[in-house]
Amino acid sequence: MVIDAVVILSGGMDSTTLLYDLKNRGLNLIAISFEYKQKHIKEIECAKMTCKKLNVEHKILNLDVLSDVAPSSLTRNEIDIPDGHYAEDSMKQTVVPNRNMVMISLAASFAMSKKINKLYYGAHAGDHIIYPDCRKEFIDKIKEILLISDWHKVEFEAPYFNINKADIVEIGKNLNVDYSLTWTCYNGRLKACGKCGSCNERLESFKIVGMVDPIEYEYN
């Protein structure tokens, strides 16, 4: 089977919706997820279940090295995940410096090695304020560099780049995305905390679209 594209799949709502979306367009896909000692490792379990459900090949790559070089509240127990709104300055504690470039580089390396022509990535407009490696200028430079960094060119696509999380839920609603198999909370507990910036943005998005979020929360 010829593979049309690699999709970076975190197991969160955005990349999961993207996977459904591309599958719905008839593309043959391989999904790649990264374990980097994130507290919210539950997202990887979600990614696995979604791939099984959609019959998509799934590669899980070990990136523990990222936590060693760049400690953040996402990976270190001694640094707390901040509560509050997703766009607040305190959320910058959740930045893992250069994380996306590292993940994209490795996923591109895989695509180049297998002569796959496209690489998809689920960054969206709500990410821009806090995460420098989700901004348009970053996406544009990545597009340029993946056309020259190997003899095999890889086209980089971030189709949700200009829309927000509520728009993504709207797309997912029409595609019957199973959001019970997605994980968004930055804390790694049994239920989503309902208080971190990531939970707040998720809950707001479901509210805007008029859907009930199927996962359980400690506080809602």
The rounded distance, in Å, linking the Cα atoms of 70 and 204 is 30
For helices 136-145 and 99-113, the axis angle rounded to 10 degrees is 30
Using CB under 8 A as the binding rule, whether residue 41 contacts a copy of itself is answered as: no
Q: How far is the CB of 205 from a copy of itself (least distance, A)?
A: 25
Using CB under 8 A as the binding rule, whether residue 66 contacts a copy of itself is answered as: yes
Using CB under 8 A as the binding rule, whether residue 145 contacts a copy of itself is answered as: yes
Using CB under 8 A as the binding rule, whether residue 138 contacts a copy of itself is answered as: yes
Residue range at the interface with a copy of itself (CB under 8 A); choices 50-58, 73-81, 101-109, 171-179: 101-109
**Both tokens of residue 5?**
């594209």
Q: Which is nearer to a copy of itself, 51 or 171 (CB)?
A: 51
**Both tokens of residue 111?**
């695509």
CA 44, 54, 122, 171 torsion-angle sign: negative
Q: How far is the CB of 127 from a copy of itself (least distance, A)?
A: 13
Using CB under 8 A as the binding rule, whether residue 220 contacts a copy of itself is answered as: no
Q: How many Cβ atoms from other residues are within 10 Å of residue 39's Cβ?
A: 18
Using CB under 8 A as the binding rule, whether residue 144 contacts a copy of itself is answered as: yes
CA 183, 95, 34, 145 torsion-angle sign: positive
Residues in the chain, total: 220
CB 183, CB 193: distance < 8 Å: no
Using CB under 8 A as the binding rule, whether residue 71 contacts a copy of itself is answered as: yes
Residues contacting 25, CB < 8 A, separation 6+: none
Residue range at the interface with a copy of itself (CB under 8 A); choices 50-58, 138-146, 182-190, 209-217: 138-146
Q: Please report, as ranges, the residues that interact with a copy of itself according to CB under 8 A.
A: 59, 61-66, 68-71, 92, 95-102, 105-110, 112-113, 132-133, 135, 137-138, 141-142, 144-145, 148-152
